[in-house]
């Protein structure tokens, strides 16, 4: 799951980013409207967490431009205002969900997860392949009834591969979906993560390497 946080309060933005990364999400951060809009249009985010009161370009305008560009990203709007009129306005301009500040962090995580599932409706909240079970809502994975202690990137890769339902997923797509914009596309990070994931999944092996195509379950 890849998320963009657009929030001008840098301390809050970084705190949210750290918390979401601990919840196994790949997170990019922008601190104003123009840079946030640019990132949202260039990258394929599942969810954009958008503060409404942004410098440079108001959050309402950012949301409107994303809709005009037919962005597939779901928008969760944040605001310090909590009246029913503000909620109606936020949803009226095209936001998919609305959360007033201050908010409970588990609620934010749950709503992001719900929006991400709507962004990719073909993937159910629980993914299964033979004796492998991945619960995307609880961020847990097991094989043969044995809990898998997966690092965030390992979990993300397994989630993407299972959701692909047998389709080969390229290393480039895995980088786009699981890592944030700071990932170096020329490193072997995907290969190393796949190797560690294979070891934790154990036998019999379930992740195949497809020549010139990537990896598949």
pLDDT number for residue 24:
79
Mean pLDDT throughout 59-66? 92
The H-assigned helical ranges of 70-151 are 84-92, 105-119
Residues near 16 by beta carbon (within 8 Å), at least 6 away in sequence? 5, 7, 27, 49, 105, 108
201, containing H or E segment: helix 189-201
Is the backbone of residue 145 left (phi > 0), alpha (psi -120 to 50) or beta?
left
Which one is predicted more confidently, 82 or 99? 99
* 45 in Cβ contact with 73 (< 8 Å): yes
The angle formed by the CA atoms of residues 197, 29 and 179, to the nearest 5 degrees, is 15
Weakest mean pLDDT among 29-38, 110-119, 156-165: 110-119
- The tokens describing 1, both together, are 């799951």
Which segments within 42-154 are labelled E, that is strand?
Answer: 47-51, 74-79, 97-100, 126-129, 132-135, 140-143, 146-147
Torsional sign, CA 178, 182, 184, 187: negative
What does the pLDDT read at residue 101? Answer: 86
Q: What is the pLDDT of residue 3?
A: 93
Mean pLDDT on 60-72: 90
Averaged over 70-94, what is the pLDDT? 75
pLDDT at 182: 67
Tokens matching residue 83? 């009246």
Q: Where are the beta strands (DSSP E) in the chain?
A: 2-6, 26-30, 47-51, 74-79, 97-100, 126-129, 132-135, 140-143, 146-147, 208-210, 214-216
Residues paired with 49 in a beta bridge = 5, 76
Other C-beta atoms closer than 10 Å to the C-beta of 95 total 25
pLDDT digits (tens, 9 = 90+) for 115-170: 887 766 545 678 899 999 999 878 899 999 999 999 989 999 999 999 888 899 99
Tokens linked to 148:
């898998």
At residue 173, does pLDDT exceed 90? no
């Amino acid at each position: 799951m890849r998320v963009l946080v657009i929030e001008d309060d840098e301390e809050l933005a970084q705190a949210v980013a750290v918390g979401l990364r601990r919840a196994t999400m790949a997170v990019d951060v922008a601190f104003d409207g123009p840079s946030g809009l640019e990132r949202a249009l260039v990258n394929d985010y599942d969810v954009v967490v958008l503060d409404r009161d942004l410098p440079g370009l108001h959050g309402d305008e950012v949301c409107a431009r994303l809709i005009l560009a037919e962005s597939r990203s779901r928008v969760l709007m944040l605001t310090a205002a909590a009246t029913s009129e503000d909620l109606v306005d936020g949803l009226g301009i095209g936001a998919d969900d609305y959360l007033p500040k201050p908010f409970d962090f588990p609620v934010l995580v749950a709503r992001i997860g719900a929006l991400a599932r709507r962004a990719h409706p073909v993937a159910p909240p629980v993914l299964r392949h033979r004796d492998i079970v991945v619960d995307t809502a609880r961020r847990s994975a097991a094989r043969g009834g044995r809990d898998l202690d997966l690092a965030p990137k390992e979990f993300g890769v397994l989630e993407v591969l299972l959701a692909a339902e047998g389709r080969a997923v390229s290393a480039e797509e895995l980088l786009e979906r699981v890592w944030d914009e700071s990932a170096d596309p020329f490193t072997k990070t995907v290969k190393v993560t796949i190797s560690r994931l294979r070891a934790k999944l154990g036998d019999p092996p379930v992740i195949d390497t497809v020549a010139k195509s990537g990896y598949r379950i």
